[in-house]
Amino acid sequence: MAVSSSSSAQEARQNLADRLREICRDAGLEGKQLAAKCGWHPSKVSRIATAKTAPSADDIAAWCRACGVEDQAQDLIASLKAANGTWVQWGRMERTGLRRAQEGVLPIFQRTRWFRWYSPAFVPGLLQTCGYTEDVLRAVQRRRVLIDDVADAVAVRMDRQRVLYEGQKHFAFLMEQPVLTNSLGTADTQIEQLEHLLTVEALPNVSIGVVPSRLSRPRMPVEGFYIFDQAQANVELVSGYLTVTQPSEVAMYGKAFSTMAEMAVYGEKARRLITSAMDALA
């Protein structure tokens, strides 16, 4: 199992190992006794108990059965799935194509009420036009996905944008200024995208900020991330998709967003940067 450098992933696995060790101790069993009951080598118990090896769902079920607490197995298996889900390599997430990867994140988009998105490189997905999205996903598909279902994936992402208009939701988007002129597509596609930003910016529940390029910044750009309410942050890295749920870490991303937000311009100043980029592209 791939191990993320994120302390969220490490802590989740460590918490699971600690709980399994407590169950063994509460049952009055030593590691060798537990191993004998499960039909394992004692070293396996040691590796699981110290979080050096992640248990399988069957391992957890056998552990709980040997300790007489079978009723706790399902909760612990759920914890295992949560720990495994904090870090997903792109190859695993996209092995069945891009459409399912896009569909997989839809539920959290639908239930989130306060959405914050910081992007140093791309226009955020919820603000993208069809043409811009096609360029982005086509580049991803060519780079790392064997299945070509880009058209279906684009349709899913376009449909997901309905959340902008549903219920009492609030959206705050921040983009670094180079996003306005950097593109995987043509100038016409980028101009269309910038025109769309001006349209969406007028929605009462949407804030679009642009962080101007300048010297002596309080903070340099960081990796792109988005925050769902105050419960979860997601980060798209070169090697995979990171889910952060530890409150202290989510708060760190919230603080980074606030810092970038203070550096950004909004309203007429943001519109001037957008229209200036359009003029340069034209």
Would you list the domain boundaries of the chain? 7-85, 89-281
b/e code 196-228 from CB counts within 10 Å (16+ = b): bbeeebeeeebbbbbbeeeeeeeeeeeebbbbb
Q: Is the pLDDT of residue 9 over 70?
A: no
**If you count them, how many residues does the chain have?**
282
- pLDDT tens-digit map of 184-235: 999 999 999 999 999 999 999 999 999 999 999 999 999 999 999 998 999 9
Q: What is the CA radius of gyration of the chain?
A: 23
The label of the residue with tokens 């969406």 reads 200
Residue 112: the pLDDT is 96
Q: What gap in Å lies between CA 121 and CA 136, rounded to an integer? A: 11
Place of tokens 């549903």: 166
Closest-CA residue to 174 (of 243, 272, 270, 281): 270
Q: Which superfamily does CATH assign the domain made up of 89-281 to?
A: Endonuclease Chain A (3.30.870.10)
Q: Which of 61, 69, 58, 2 is nearest to 29 (CA)?
A: 69
Please state, in angstroms and rounded to a whole number, the distance separating the CA atoms of residues 270 and 267: 5
User: Which residues have CB under 8 Å from 39's CB, separation 6+?
Assistant: none
Q: What is this structure's pTM?
A: 0.77
Nearest to 83 by CA among 114, 107, 48: 48
Q: Which of 223, 224, 237 is nearest to 86 (CA)?
A: 237
pLDDT at residue 4, as a whole number: 42
> 7-85: what CATH class?
mainly alpha
Q: Per residue in 36-69, pLDDT tens? A: 999 999 999 999 999 888 899 899 999 999 999 9
Task: Please state, in angstroms and rounded to a whole number, the distance separating the CA atoms of residues 85 and 130.
Answer: 29
Confidence of residue 85 (pLDDT cuts 50, 70, 90): low
Measured distance CA(133)–CA(137) in Å, rounded: 6
